[in-house]
Copies of this chain bind each other. A is one copy, B any other.
């Protein structure tokens, strides 16, 4: 059942012993939402605890600074930024049908929770900001840091098209609390591991262009990942690279997840449809960003891609 912000705020004010579920492979928005809400609930004298199926990457550690772990038997289960119970991950899967309230900004939310607060805005943290206000909790600096983190990471630091007037107005409110937004953005966007640079070098080396430069392919092989000891986070931003090249209409990143098993990401500019292109290879997605899976050697995978790319561009192979 869908609820309004005021209703969600009322439910949370009436609840206690609140377990806050975040999604697996946690990002700034689910964690920022979870910890900001946890702080708000505790400031009302309630017990609240954030949990996640996966270990939380070290760079997010400031989000829960000062929050000690609390042990209790949950009497209210809140999910934040979790569009689908599958995303709760293995450790939290038992809560899939026990979520009292879900607060989420994904249009694709599967309506699994007893109550759902859904807005298609830039970040769940924007919604949490509204609920904290509606709960009459005085926002403090730690909550503001948590919320800013989610908003900044989900908007690519106010760069993406999901950034709205409200996004900037909330950011202004958060800055009023004296947060060090630059330090947050540096931690979120700038600090990179040596593996990140090693992997990027190999990836840039692999770029091939086709069809008069209208299409670019970039490879990240299983061997590249092993050789650089790269982690998932070291892949940040790589998918965008081929399409960033001047003149490229279709950018393709071929990532070998297991030897011979490739995950293909396709990004297109107007008027080329990434989802139609990927559908021909058994995949799907959005108009400008889609994906599919293929098997074989790098050469074999490329040879499967090229005719489909040529067709999409309306050129001959």
The listed residue (B166, B185, B192, B207) touching A197 by CB distance below 8 A is B207
A168 at the interface (CB under 8 A from B): yes
Q: What is the 8 Å Cβ interface bit string for chain A, positions 271-298, against chain B (1 contact, 0 not)?
A: 0000000000000000000000000000
The listed residue (B156, B168, B200, B213) touching A172 by CB distance below 8 A is B168
Are the CB atoms of A175 and B168 closer together than 8 Å?
yes
Are the CB atoms of B190 and A245 closer together than 8 Å?
no
CB-contacts of A115-174 with B (<8 A): 156-161, 163-166, 168-169, 171-172
Are the CB atoms of A204 and B201 closer together than 8 Å?
yes
- Using A200-B204, A204-B201 as known contacts, say yes or no to A158 and B175 having CB atoms under 8 A apart: no
Copies in the complex: 2
Q: How far is the CA of A273 from the CA of B42 in the complex (A)?
A: 41
Are the CB atoms of B172 and A160 closer together than 8 Å?
no
Please tell me the size bucket of the interface on A: 35 or more
**Most chain B CB atoms below 10 A, which of A158, A185, A205, A240:** A158
Q: How far is the CA of A193 from the CA of B213 in the complex (A)?
A: 11
Are the CB atoms of A189 and B159 closer together than 8 Å?
yes
Shortest CB–CB separation between residue A82 and chain B, in angstroms? 26
Q: What is the 8 Å Cβ interface bit string for chain A, positions 245-277, against chain B (1 contact, 0 not)?
A: 110000000000000000000000000000000
Are the CB atoms of A245 and B158 closer together than 8 Å?
no
Shortest CB–CB separation between residue A61 and chain B, in angstroms? 14
Q: How far is the CA of A176 from the CA of B168 in the complex (A)?
A: 11
A191 at the interface (CB under 8 A from B): yes
A-B contacts besides A163-B181, A201-B204, 17 pairs, CB < 8 Å: A157-B157, A158-B158, A161-B182, A165-B172, A168-B169, A168-B171, A168-B172, A190-B244, A191-B246, A192-B244, A194-B213, A194-B246, A197-B204, A197-B207, A197-B245, A200-B204, A201-B205
In the assembled complex, 22 residue pairs joining A and B whose CB atoms fall closer than 8 Å, in A order, are A157-B158, A159-B182, A159-B189, A160-B185, A161-B182, A163-B181, A163-B182, A164-B175, A165-B172, A165-B176, A168-B169, A168-B171, A168-B172, A172-B172, A190-B240, A192-B245, A193-B245, A197-B207, A197-B241, A201-B201, A201-B205, A204-B204
